[in-house]
Structure 1
Amino acid sequence: MTGETQNPQQFNLDAEQVVLGCLMQSQDTFVEVEPHLGKGDGFYRQQHATIYRALLDLRDRQEPTDPITLASHLLGTGDLNRIGGAHYLHDCVAKVPVAAQAGHFAKTVARFALLRSLAREGQRIVNAAQSAHHDSAEAMLEQARAWLSELTGSSTSRSDALWKDAAGRTFTEIGEVADAPDGPVGIPTGLHDVDEVLEGLRPGQLTLVAARPRVGKSVLLLNVARHAAVHLGKRVVLFSLEMSENEVVTRMFSAGTSVPLTRIRMAKHLTDEDWAKLARYIGDTSEAPLHVDASPKAGLAHIRSTTSRIVNEHGPVDLIVVDYLQLMPPANPRASREQQVSELSRGLKLLAKEVGAPVVAACQLNRGPEQRSDKKPQLGDLRESGSLEQDGDQVILLHREDADDPESPKAGECDLIIAKNRHGRQDTITVAAQLHLSRFVSTAIV
């Protein structure tokens, strides 16, 4: 940050001056510098941050950024004397070596800023750990992860955009949608009639799948993840806090091969044909870009860091699936449960925007449906926090009549109640619930 420290190993004033000098020489260097320095919080000296932000102001106004114009601008804002006067601007320009690479020096400044931030957060963790009770060790670990994740989650790139730039990008995206083949705008769920209503799972948005226990939340989430990774080749990260890796994979085997789940679990009952189906399925899906994380204590910090690692190692992530939200450990165990759930849902929403991928998360409803005669869930049944309804771009409520009445005429069916849809209509879609195969099947597909 801009506050000064005493450790000479945590800053490089020459690099900071060269960056500013390059920007005063040519506005073209903003393209190289801005991705690393964003709004200028990474400068060690406050005067350099002030100069940098003044340069951004001039650039955004489409005015020259030369030392004379910059000095006049700083005089008008009352900052010229504070940054060392007009002669200091010329000193920065004089620092620029021949054929200087502005991006290289900007990256140097950003790296020193990261080291200073790490040092501060490290000391913060030490102080908190020394005062923490041993019973809260796990919670302290999650808090430490959350603090460190703020460093990786907070980008130095600018978050604001001029209207002409934002409008141009959006117009291009609209054109790409218009030229694309017919089908959902986002990632299809694999359920044709659901996709017609939702138009797929859109990047940067949070979809909540909510139900009472044993209705089919996990089944739906695994179906969506399997369809995206296996059938569409999308890179999917699945966080399963409730089921082990073995349980996740076993269910996907059943859904993908039509071999009943009970036979797979009781392997001695598998037929030769079953074994052949399983072997063929493994071979056919061996290259599916699906990452399964079955850590039972995957909090927001863990999900962020794991996703970031996968992006660094394999490239962009297309879909994040979390099963399920209320099992995620909170960063602040002392907060009320409502505050904890609000923090988790907001964190997942922000993660979707930061990664630029849809996030689908299961969550549990309260006992409201059980107290109504028709047992149908409503948005108000979202357990423990109204923020779930607020943060979710889409909310899908699951209802199976045969979960309460095995003799129901709708046995074998599940209603997917699209109770909230930010981009379209609300509707109720009935799908076939083939739970013995751990899957839902769209009735719109013959």
Structure 2
Amino acid sequence: MSDDIRQQQFSLEAEQVVLGCLMQSQRPFADVEPLLGKGDVFYRQQHATIYRALLELRDRQEPTDPITLAAHLLGTGDLNKVGGATYLHECMALAPIDAQAGHFARKVAQFAALRFLEREGLRIARVAQTAHHEEADAILDQARSWLAELTVSTVNRTDALWQDAAARTLTDMGEIADAPDEPVGIPTGLHDVDEVLEGLRPGQLTLVAARPRVGKSVLLLNVAQHASFKLGKRVVFFSLEMSEPEVVTRMFSAGTSVPLTRIRLAKQLTDEDWTKLGRYVGDTDAAPLHIDPSPKAGLAHIRATTKRIAEEHGGVDLVLVDYLQLMPPANPRQSREQQVSELSRGLKLFAKEIGAPVIAACQLNRGPEQRADKKPQLGDLRESGSLEQDGDQVILLHREDADNPDSPKAGECDLIIAKNRHGRQDTITVAAQLHLSRFVSTAIV
């Protein structure tokens, strides 16, 4: 871009005024620190050095006037680097007595965001120019991850005074007390599970873990169907393992009681089956369920897709990911344990960010196979102990007939609630009607 078109993405005056305001009084720190952070947003390095020195003086409860500041910078060997004591006085002189430090700090942060965007844009362009066409999906996901780091520090402050936090909490408690006698969060559709978990709560991460072919995907699909089709909640289902037709046919079977094998082999469907399917599609036609079958849905993709849906429809109520270990890592060079740790932590932070419950299926290691009873434990969470740490609830699935078809508990599945941050642990037995792609509470079978 030519110099006559390209605008300067910085304001030296705004940077100087902010520093001058902080030298006049310590009061503006409360307004500018959430915007300026540790000073990386300053265009001139000398301004970042001055700002950090001011923070050090403030933290030590010392004055921040130019004389004290100059003495501090002299002691650290930085005084000449920032322009000497004369430059400090110049910055202070530029700041009017009634200057709004927060206004100028916001300007500094906005310019920094534009520079970041320009830098990352060039970075993405360089990668794209040398990439093979088969790498396009991976590069798109990486680009989303880089841009997700862009945070213009113009957001509302995140802290809350006790008085305000207590008042809001009491209001929320009053609404819950006056509401019908239902779970606090979104019900899963399994009555006994909802009694223990009190529903799926906003901002929480629930992990559903099991060995292969036990029913992780089935449980997530059932929860998605119940929340969207019966409760009208806006649900986003990310399926990294199954294609769109596989997801839909399983939901068909669970919703119509037509065996999945007949649905897969459509020629075996009877006229009655077709009628059931047609009626079911008609009844659920307006359901706010979004299915994303991308096999390479990384954290950045999940975040971007969910936010887009939320913006288009005024929010998202529930997000499901099937399953975590299939998500591509942001940094392929890390160890697998580090990758899984970052993914689980990312999903937890994402749940808080969007204010909705997130459920992620997880693979267990071979630990259960080495025990006589084959029952899974929290320690079996595959590849990373951070899964146990990040999950607000952890539900382990165990079917005896998965290993022993002649088991007296054939047709049943134990949902072991091994971690429940806000309630008790328990084991709930449900009917495993896997030929219909569903679990059903034994009380209503």
Deviation of 1:176 after TM superposition, in Å, equals: 2.2
The 3-state SS of whatever aligns with 1:10 is coil
Deviation of 1:209 after TM superposition, in Å, equals: 0.3
Q: Unaligned stretches of 5+ in structure 2? A: 20-30, 71-84
- Correspondence for 1:378: 377
Kept in 2: contact 1:139–1:332 (CA 8 A): no
Choose 368-377 or 157-166, whichever is displaced more: 157-166
- Written as runs of structure 1 = structure 2, the 5 A alignment for 1:364-443 is 364-443=363-442
Distance of 1:280 and 1:186 partners within structure 2: 30
Distance of 2:107 and 2:197 partners within structure 1: 45
Deviation of 1:83 after TM superposition, in Å, equals: 8.1
- Correspondence for 1:168: 167
1:317 and 2:323 correspond: no
Distance of 2:397 and 2:12 partners within structure 1: 59
Distance of 2:181 and 2:49 partners within structure 1: 48
Deviation of 1:257 after TM superposition, in Å, equals: 1.4
1:194 and 2:196 correspond: no
Deviation of 1:74 after TM superposition, in Å, equals: 6.3
1:271 and 2:270 correspond: yes
Query: How many residue pairs get matched?
Result: 413
Q: Deviation per CA, 1:75-110, whole angstroms, max 9, x where unpaired?
A: 7985998485665332875x99xxxxx99x999877
Choose 174-183 or 311-320, whichever is displaced more: 174-183
Distance of 2:110 and 2:278 partners within structure 1: 48
- Correspondence for 2:251: 252
- Correspondence for 1:88: 94
- CA change 1:133–1:282 in 2 (3 A) is closer
Kept in 1: contact 2:109–2:152 (CA 8 A): no
Kept in 1: contact 2:16–2:91 (CA 8 A): no
- Correspondence for 1:348: 347
Deviation of 1:280 after TM superposition, in Å, equals: 1.5
The letter for the 1-side match of 2:252 is: F
* TM-score normalised by structure 1 residue count: 0.79
Distance of 2:182 and 2:49 partners within structure 1: 47
Choose 257-266 or 127-136, whichever is displaced more: 127-136
Distance of 1:153 and 1:304 partners within structure 2: 17
- Written as runs of structure 1 = structure 2, the 5 A alignment for 1:128-207 is 139-151=138-150, 156-207=155-206
Q: Deviation per CA, 1:14-73, whole angstroms, max 9, x where unpaired?
A: 9999999xxxxxxxxxxxx99x9696987768979999xx9xxx9xxxxxxxxxxxxx98
Kept in 1: contact 2:16–2:94 (CA 8 A): no
- Correspondence for 1:29: none
Kept in 1: contact 2:200–2:357 (CA 8 A): yes
Distance of 1:155 and 1:182 partners within structure 2: 40
- Correspondence for 2:279: 280
Distance of 1:435 and 1:155 partners within structure 2: 50
Deviation of 1:269 after TM superposition, in Å, equals: 1.8
Choose 7-16 or 198-207, whichever is displaced more: 7-16
Distance of 1:192 and 1:182 partners within structure 2: 13
The 3-state SS of whatever aligns with 1:173 is helix
Q: Deviation per CA, 1:220-254, whole angstroms, max 9, x where unpaired?
A: 00011111111111111110000001111111111
Q: Deviation per CA, 1:149-182, whole angstroms, max 9, x where unpaired?
A: 2226987333333333333322322222222221
Choose 239-248 or 10-19, whichever is displaced more: 10-19
The 3-state SS of whatever aligns with 2:149 is helix
- Correspondence for 1:261: 260
* TM-score normalised by structure 2 residue count: 0.79
The letter for the 2-side match of 1:428 is: T
* Sequence identity percentage: 75
Kept in 1: contact 2:228–2:288 (CA 8 A): yes
Distance of 1:77 and 1:413 partners within structure 2: 74
Distance of 1:307 and 1:414 partners within structure 2: 31
Kept in 1: contact 2:211–2:365 (CA 8 A): yes
Distance of 2:428 and 2:9 partners within structure 1: 58
